[in-house]
Structure 1
Amino acid sequence: MSRQRFIAFLTALAVAVGLAVLVPFASTASATDCAAAWSSSSVYTGGQTASYNGHNWSAKWWTQGETPGAADVWADQGGCGTSSGGTGGSTGGSSSCSYPAWVAGKSYVTGDIVQYSNGSDYIATHDNPGYDPTISTWYWSPYTCSGGGGTTPPSNGGFVVSEAQFNSMFPSRNPFYTYAGLTAALSAYPGFATTGSATVQKQEAAAFLANVSHETGGLVYIVEQNTSNYSHYCDTSQPYGCPAGQSAYYGRGPIQLSWNFNYKAAGDALGIDLLDNPNLVQTDPAVAWKTGLWYWDTQTGPGTMTPHNAMVNGAGFGETIRSINGSVECNGGNPAEVQDRVNAYENFTSILGVPAGSNLSC
């Protein structure tokens, strides 16, 4: 039996009896070779490496089940798989990419990418509660990481909005809101601005940034300006309470994340303890952007769909406003605020060279 098969046998045996799998240190690889693919069931300790989404990642400390790129326990070591003999980079076909294994009954959102047991990759085309990718063609589509059957999730520099375009959108932005922080956050939700046609991708990016611009005064404000509201965002009925303090969960970041339960939910989804460390949203640009993408991709708010779904499924920019502020602005609640968001969206789509589409208001 080869060494590789022997390790695989021991790993399978450990999983079968309920033991955590401790991954042996990966062999040294060149800058362009991929380490062994990351596994959600495996245990990694500080210094161990794994490949995921065409990048090598190094664990900073002990971790299990925390997705590289979505949790700060992992340090990005750069792209891999571009040299001859690479194993798992983004230049090969579907089998050379590393995506999480599909899990029956697990909730997925539009844009999530999984690997099925047949070795093929699939991208969620609609939110679903874990339907089988090979049966449900409405909820899943075949995906090829090289671009043959899908769109490669962006890495740093691969965003549909260039840094120059970003700077022109936000000429007076606070230096905290960096372009690098935004592109570093994209790996948390690979379906964002990569789903649908090139036009739809740019429209979604423009829609997100337009709402962000409205919420932050053009990316000027990092925290909520009305300090008298700060103590109101602690829902003491939650079993976990407000461990960071009664007034710790005020609005922060590009979508102005607020309330203890939202910090808890966003932190759980991102693999970051935001309930105990809410200040990360105002001190770490990548974390701040990730919380904005978390809301955009996973929360319906007062609307009926996520803002992400509104843009990729043709509901229009107006539905993103409804999902963010609902009746406070929509249905005549505050038409001036709605128009400010629409103006920003039309400006940003113009910068990106795409039409704004229909259903702009709510």
Structure 2
Amino acid sequence: MKAVELSLVLLCLVYYVHSCAQTYTVNSGDYCWKIANDHGLTLDKFYQINPGLNCNNLQLGVVVCVRDGGQSPPSPPSPPSPPSPGGKISFGQFVNAVTAFGYPSPSQDKYNAFINNYQTKGGITNNRELAMFLAHILHESGGLKFKEETRCKDNKCPNEYRSPGDPGNKFYYGRGYIQLTWSYNYKAASQYLFGDPNRLFNDPDAVSRSEELSWNTAFYFWKVNVHSDPGVQNGQFGSSTKKINGAYDCSPCRGSCNTRFEMYSKILKVFGVQENPNPAGC
């Protein structure tokens, strides 16, 4: 390496070291939001002072920066504030929430089906819970890209999700933004949405054909299985993860647990909720 190039590299290293006033070594059970919160940082600030850090694959022993050179000593994190209805989420906020994770910009139709039904179908009454819901939906659907279980889309998975009495020409693999499966769930969702248990049982493909039904079956699942959980209503995001994918992601937090939470943390901010995201409950 040329002397000039080496000098520039050393200068950059010296600048980085001197620009970080306090470091922290990653321990077992740590993840980015926890480290940031423990040191009085927002997640955005933590990302800013740790450029290039891979929070989805955080390694034990990695040294991270928790206070930059121009930052005053951290203050204790403020406790969560009570949930409030907040203002209606705009199309711009919805787009920002989806694209923050590298997903394509959503259409107006996706926004309309989301914004018009989250209260009536999902029972969601505040922006904190709405951020929880959307974080899971984006993760489950690949950023609203998939409305059908990808491995079953072509062959219909004919020997899976079969219950006694199912018609031989109907298949009840995952459809919609939260992957509704099994005929009894199609019947229950159909009863909830239409007052008729057979509408989706007789036409399960309707869920993936319709933007509104892809959302509404997800809202149905949330309302019946997640919404009333005390932890969810107290702002514990991990409680919602446990309800949706607890067998794979919880006790302890593993799998996609941290990824879901970091998505929620960003969406919460985009949706204008001024509180520290709480990972508890998983």
Matches within 5 A, 1:39-78: none
2: distance between equivalents of 1:208 and 1:298? 13
Q: CA deviation at 1:234?
A: 3.2
Report the Cα distance in structure 1 between the residues aligned to 2:105 and 2:148, rounded to whole angstroms.
Answer: 14
SS of residue paired to 1:275: helix
Which digits, 9 at most, give the CA deviation of each residue in 1:50-82, with x for residues without a partner?
xxxxxxxxxxxxxxxxxxxxxxxxxxxxxxxxx
The AA in structure 1 aligned to 2:142 is: G
In structure 2, runs of 5+ residues without a counterpart are 1-83
Matched residues in 2 for 1:308 and 1:209: separation? 17
Q: Which residue of 1 aligns with 2:176?
A: 253
Query: 1:165 aligned to 2:93?
Result: yes
Is this contact kept in 2: 1:176–1:285, CA < 8 A?
no
Does residue 235 of the first structure (1) align with residue 147 of the second (2)? no
Equivalent residue number for residue 121 of structure 2: 189
TM-score (norm 2): 0.59
C-alpha displacement of 1:218:
1.4
Question: For residue 149 of structure 2, what is the aligned residue in structure 1?
Answer: 224
Match of 1:350 among 261, 266, 269: 269
1:292 partner letter: A
**Do 1:211 and 1:341's aligned partners in 2 also have CA atoms closer than 8 Å?**
yes
Deviations 1:254-305 (A, max 9, x none): 1111111111110011115110111111111111111001000112xxxxxx
CA contact (8 A) 1:174 1:220 kept: no
**In 2: Cα distance, 1:278 partner to 1:167 partner:** 29
* Structure 1 spans left out of the alignment, 5+ residues: 1-150, 153-157, 195-200, 300-305
Aligned position for 1:134: none
Provide, for residues 68-123 of structure 1, a one-character-per-residue CA deviation record: whole Å limited to 9, x for no partner: xxxxxxxxxxxxxxxxxxxxxxxxxxxxxxxxxxxxxxxxxxxxxxxxxxxxxxxx
- Report if aligned partners of 2:160, 2:173 keep a CA contact under 8 Å in 1: yes
Cα distance in 2 for residues equivalent to 1:312 and 1:328: 19
Q: TM-score, normalised by structure 1?
A: 0.47
Displacement after TM superposition at 1:180 (Å): 1.0
* Structure 1 residue 251, shift from structure 2 partner: 1.0
Identify which of 242, 260, 275 aligns with 2:201: 275
Root-mean-square deviation over aligned CA pairs: 2.8
AA aligned opposite 1:216: S
Residues 249/356 of structure 1: CA separation in 2 closer, same or farther (3 Å cut) = farther
Instruction: Identify the residue that residue 97 of structure 1 maps to in structure 2.
Output: none
Cα 1:329–1:252 change in 2 (3 A) is same
Following the alignment from structure 2 to structure 1, what is the Cα–Cα distance between the partners of residues 122 and 149?
Answer: 28
Q: 1:352 to 1:223 in 2, by over 3 A?
A: same
Residue in 2 that maps onto 1:143: none
d(CA) in 2 for partners of 1:209, 1:348: 8
Offset at residue 190 of structure 1 (A):
6.6
Over 3 Å counting, the alpha-carbon distance change for 1:178 and 1:279 in structure 2 is same
Partner of 2:10: none
CA contact (8 A) 2:122 2:219 kept: no
State the identity %: 28
Distance 2:169 2:107 in 1: 28
State the distance in 2 between where 1:191 and 1:262 align: 19
Per-residue deviation, 1:189: 2.7
d(CA) in 1 for partners of 2:121 and 2:144?
21
- Richer in strand (by share): 1
Task: Report the Cα offset of residue 178 of structure 1.
Answer: 0.8
Q: Match of 1:183, as an amino acid?
A: I
Of 209, 214, 218, the match for 1:292: 218
CA contact (8 A) 2:268 2:277 kept: no
Question: Which residue in the other structure is 2:259 paired with?
Answer: 340
- Report the number of matched residues: 189
Report if the CA contact (8 A) 2:163-2:182 is conserved.
Answer: no
Structure 1 residues 330 and 339: CA distance shift in structure 2, 3 A: same
Please give the alpha-carbon distance, in whole angstroms, between the structure 2 residues aligned to 1:251 and 1:231. Answer: 12
CA distance in 1, matches of 2:186, 2:280: 30
Correspondence for 1:331 among 236, 251, 255: 251
Which has the bigger relative contact order, CA under 8 A and spacing at least 6?
2
Partners of 1:311 and 1:177 in 2: CA distance: 32
User: How far, CA to CA, are the matches of 2:186 and 2:266 in structure 1?
Assistant: 31
Distance (whole Å) between structure 2 residues aligned to residue 310 and residue 210 of structure 1? 19
CA distance in 2, matches of 1:183, 1:244: 37
Give 1:348 shift. Answer: 0.2
| Equivalent residues of 1:159, 1:183 under 8 A apart | no
Greater gyration radius: 2
Mapped contact 1:244–1:275 kept (Cα < 8 A) = no
Comparing both structures, which one devotes a greater share of its residues to helix? 2
Q: For 2:213 and 2:179, how far apart are their aligned partners in 1?
A: 12
